[in-house]
Structure 1
């Protein structure tokens, strides 16, 4: 019989998994790395703030061509998307004052360029296309009180950071991974920081601010494969990026 406590723990685990969103292939098939969709959306939202007057709404990443999916050389995390190029779909609102403002297509082009740069250069995702849809025209924040309501529905689904469940490194693979520069901490959103089968390990982690996630993951895979007896294959799941290195370790069950 499942106890109330056990049921609550299972529900919380399912909620944490859903909060991560899709597990996106990071880099190419040979990189054996995945990035939580939620972490990618947080970074895309941060990048979009660089485009004055825009408010990014819902963001979704999905395979650009499911039929062109590649085969991963290492076992992927549960329910992870196969390697391949991705499509970004996003909604945004644009502030306006009068007809002299920059045309919306030009604004969309600037926003698209910023999102592409963030996804490819900062994160390491392979992006095939970015579809943007204007869902709101917003009054300037400087307008007098009572005149700031949007003409249409404001962009929805704000993205907030997922609760970070950091883990204390235990075992050779975990200690090796945690020592790699750019690893803020190991995480345990899917259960444990290190999981696997004979000859293979999956390492879940968060990357530190100022470090490119794909480069960190490559370093982790290389060091763990070389440092752990038997030279296991290694998969990496990144659940958060740009995390402070002094993050507190969560030891709650």
Structure 2
């Protein structure tokens, strides 16, 4: 039976799915014990901003799992104790582990291409670590074109994001504690409510300020939320990084 609210609910569900897909992959921030993730589009916007330098135009950029060959763990390998009650991975998010950046770029012909690639790689690695907290193991760069006439002043053009992150007002002690953390611009709602409380965990969604390291903010949010929730693992999802 179709009700009057049926089409509205369908439209809301469709909008939610489109918003979720627009965020790209959900990437782990820090290590397994940090319980933090960030949307790929948010991370990519920070990396693009860092790479916006004369003589280089960044094209496609993706962040995904690194290819790990021959991981250890044989009978003689030392056993590392697991952290108690690690925060659960958000729905469809990548588990904690090293990441790989794949990017295309155009460069001015006034310098050797290996030098241009090395400089861009260093910029991306530094921004990923210092501004986000991503564990990047590999950066794979591909030169796709030379800039016309050298174009030494040309920089990476901004790429509009397809994600529109919905801001949510804090309601309740957990949300209020999270919203009050320095570096939190707002709570957001992409995977559901800004604070998702389950019997075995709590998950909080936030947008962070670009002048704060995303991982540090996420850690502070976990600490603030843990003070209001007893014995429940807390995870944090950064859906946007906002310049202001």
**TM-score interval w.r.t. the shorter chain?**
0.7 to 0.9
CA 1:142–1:34: 2 relative to 1, 3 Å: closer
Matches within 5 A, 1:78-227: 78-96=91-109, 101-140=110-149, 158-160=159-161, 162-227=163-228
Relative contact order, CA 8 A, sep 6+: which one is greater?
2
Match of 1:61 in 2: 63
Decide which of 18, 22, 26 is 1:19's aligned counterpart: 22
TM normalised by structure 2 equals 0.85
Q: Is the 8 A contact 1:47 1:114 kept in 2?
A: yes
Per the alignment, residue 39 of structure 1 pairs with 42
Structure 1 residue ranges (4+ consecutive) displaced by more than 4 angstroms after TM superposition: 140-143
Residues 83 and 66 (structure 1), Cα distance of their counterparts in 2 relative to 1, 3 Å cut: farther
Equivalent pairs counted in the alignment come to: 227
Indicate conservation of the 8 Å contact 1:22/1:37, yes or no: yes
8 Å Cα contact 2:22-2:162 kept in structure 1: no
Unaligned 5+ runs, structure 2: 72-81
TM-score of the two chains, using structure 1 as the length reference: 0.82
CA 1:188–1:179: 2 relative to 1, 3 Å: same
- The answer on whether the counterparts of 1:169 and 1:175 sit within 8 Å (CA) in structure 2 is yes
Query: Secondary structure of the equivalent of 1:89?
Result: strand
**What CA distance in whole angstroms lies between the structure 2 residues aligned with 1:88 and 1:125?**
10
Deviations 1:52-110 (A, max 9, x none): 21111111111113686x998111110010000000000111134xxxx1011110110
Cα deviation, residue 4, structure 1: 2.8
Q: 1:159 to 1:60 in 2, by over 3 A?
A: farther
